Structure 1
């Protein structure tokens, strides 16, 4: 389970990251990333719509995505906000495939380096 410090909980934060973040498409997900100030905790949010499947299937996909993000935190990932939107194909994907999608999104963000401006708080507005 992700710690509270590693979760995006505000709808405004979700909206801000999805609208202003760098978009990285994977086979089973689309990720939106924003760099944050150095030393800040990495935060994650998940969007799993009914197109993915039944409630049981959606929760399974969400738990797998959370576990993949937890591994990134354990590996020392900091200073990024990441929202992962699961595509319908995620319903049939196994854990390694979902983990690869998330890891690819983060690695592409790291290659871009400081080109992404640090995320402003949702209170600052769009």
Structure 2
């Protein structure tokens, strides 16, 4: 599970990220990435949010998809620049997508918008 500091919890933050963030389409997901304004000199931690609608499937399927997306983002967390907010919207096809496919889609989205830390 992602730590509380790494989760987007308010509806306003979801709306801001979806409306103002860079959007990357993939067959199973849509990923929105936004740089959140930091408080003070240091940017806040990278935060993730997930949108899995009823169109994806039953509650069991939706929760499985959400858990898989969270696991992908937990692996990706050390590589994401601080101050980034990332919302992943699962499309109905994500219910049948493999782990590798979901992982590659989210990694590609983060790379495409330049949200990854440079070593």
> Which is richer in helix?
1
SS at match of 1:68: helix
Quote the offset at 1:46 in angstroms.
0.3
Match of 1:108 among 88, 107, 112: 112
Quote the offset at 1:35 in angstroms.
1.5
Distance in 2 of aligned mates of 1:58 and 1:94: 14
Question: What is the aligned length?
Answer: 111
For structure 1, the 5+ residue unaligned runs are: 112-126
Match of 2:86 among 82, 89, 99: 82
Quote the offset at 1:39 in angstroms.
4.0
Distance in 2 of aligned mates of 1:102 and 1:79: 17
For structure 2, the 5+ residue unaligned runs are: none
Match of 1:58 among 56, 62, 79: 62
SS at match of 2:2: coil
Distance in 2 of aligned mates of 1:71 and 1:98: 12
Quote the offset at 1:17 in angstroms.
0.7
TM-score, reference length from structure 1: 0.82
TM-score, reference length from structure 2: 0.87
What is residue 35 of structure 1 aligned with on the other side? 35
